[in-house]
A and B are shown apart, each in its own frame.
Chain A
Amino acid sequence: MSGTWIEVCRTDEIDEKDVLGFECRGEKYAIYNTASGFYATAGVCTHEAADLSMGLVIDDIIECPMHQGRFHIPTGKAKSAPACVDLKTYAVKIEDGMVLIELPDGTFAESTA
């Protein structure tokens, strides 16, 4: 999948074992700093749209702050009810101390139209 790389924040702006919210074109994303690296997923829970950037990172799991549904951060897989639908994940890379995520080109369709 081709996409556009977007700068999100400096690597030191997300504590280890924590999550940061990021908004682009009205869509929310969650950026994670885990022991195995940086990851990005959709920013709202697939159960009832709670803001995952307010959630709790436990190893490679993000726990929703509202109903404690759980997702596997690297794959976005829903791990426990009430979360049943997987989260979208996005590619992440680090360049010059910055975290970048790759958003699908469709995200910017409005600007290129």
Chain B
Amino acid sequence: MPSFERRDYSLSGGVADAVALDGERIERRVEERWWSPEIPRATLKKLTRRGDREAWWNFAPWLLLLGASGLIAALSWNSWWAVPAFFVYGTIYSSSDARWHECGHGTPFRTRWVNELFYHLCSFMTLREGYLWRWSHARHHTYTLMVGRDSEIDIQRPANLPGIIADFLYLRGGPSELARIVRHAFGVLDGDVRDFVPEGERAKMIWSSRVYVAIIAGVGVWSLAIESFLPMMFVATPRFYGGWLHHLLAMTQHAGLAENVADHRLNSRTVTINPVFRFLYLNMNYHVEHHVFPMVPFHALPKLHEEIGDRTPPAYDGLWAVYRELIPVLIRQARTDPDHYIRRALPETAAV
């Protein structure tokens, strides 16, 4: 397999084609440049309305399922039943990533402290240190898939196929994220982090990283003390052994699509998925809609899709429709043509 020179996706790497930063003015231009459909103000207000009830209808059963599956898994320890039991627990646990994301936008709960509580809980569960990733994700929304500016381009070109496969068990992203948490706990920050986390926020990030390390180390010590891996099966490791579904769903967000375009219809995907996956994934399958109007809470995204669907490319009909198109593109990027990508066709009615 030929190897291609990897593009420099770092924020501090001085990428030639990165959008130039010029203080507030360029950021204003970027914000104004993104495609945005016209929606009646009253409709948008209705879609963005906040309430705790809709969020609890998702988060309460999620917590119950997490607790129940964890209890069953613990009771099945030392038997073969533990394998399917922890598979289920780990899968539910890893859907904390979708909750980290949604709470980071502050959209699910109207009550702020509840939103923040779930944000930090889920940040820890999914191993994304909360203060760091709030800033990283803000950057992602400003510069979605703009090389050298977006800190969250997960599937880079040329595609790293072994890495993509390894991430079904979080074996590519997980260790590097853990290493970053440990570095930050010791106060060691790399250039990219300095690029998007303001100086005034770094102390909170460092102390939060120390709490993460302390909890994980504490559970590790507990496991050693009782000479059982069981405690470790409930903290941090589920994000690895149960990460398959989140990776399967999250890959559909941007992988294989256009870079350096100011139109979320071209660099993001919307795909229809079954209700169980939508429950676990908090409707992030409506990813074009989420990027176009990030202040719309997860439960209103299907309605937003109905509202603007005629101005966006058609939604993919299921995960298979995405992967049937995506897999050959990633292989082609890796083997012969690193610049190849999926070009989404815009509907003719898409002017506004």
Contact = CB atoms under 8 A, between A and B. Distances in A.
Interface of A: 15, 18, 44, 47-51, 55-56, 58, 63, 65-68, 70, 80-82, 84
A65 B201 contact: no
A65 B24 CA distance: 17
Interface string B145-177: 000000000000000000000000000000000
A18 B41 CA distance: 10
Contacts of B27: 48-49
A48 B105 contact: no
Contact of B141 (A58, A67, A81, A84): A67
B326 interface: no
A59 to B, nearest CB: 9
Contact of A49 (B31, B141, B295): B31
Contact of A47 (B131, B138, B294): B138
Contacts, number: 55
5 contacts: A18-B45, A48-B138, A56-B48, A66-B141, A68-B295
Interface in B289-303: 293-295
Interface in B97-154: 105-107, 110, 112, 131, 134-135, 138, 141-142
Interface of B: 24, 27-28, 31, 41, 45, 48, 50, 105-107, 110, 112, 131, 134-135, 138, 141-142, 198, 200-201, 293-295
B314 to A, nearest CB: 26
Considering the complex of A and B, which 9 residue pairs feature the smallest CB-CB distances, nearest first? A49-B28, A67-B138, A82-B138, A68-B106, A48-B27, A56-B48, A68-B105, A49-B24, A65-B295
Nearest to B45: A18
A50 B31 contact: yes
The B contact surface, by secondary structure, is helix
B278 to A, nearest CB: 22
Nearest to B293: A65
Nearest to B30: A48
Contacts of B112: 80
A93 B201 CA distance: 37
Contacts of A81: 131, 134-135, 201
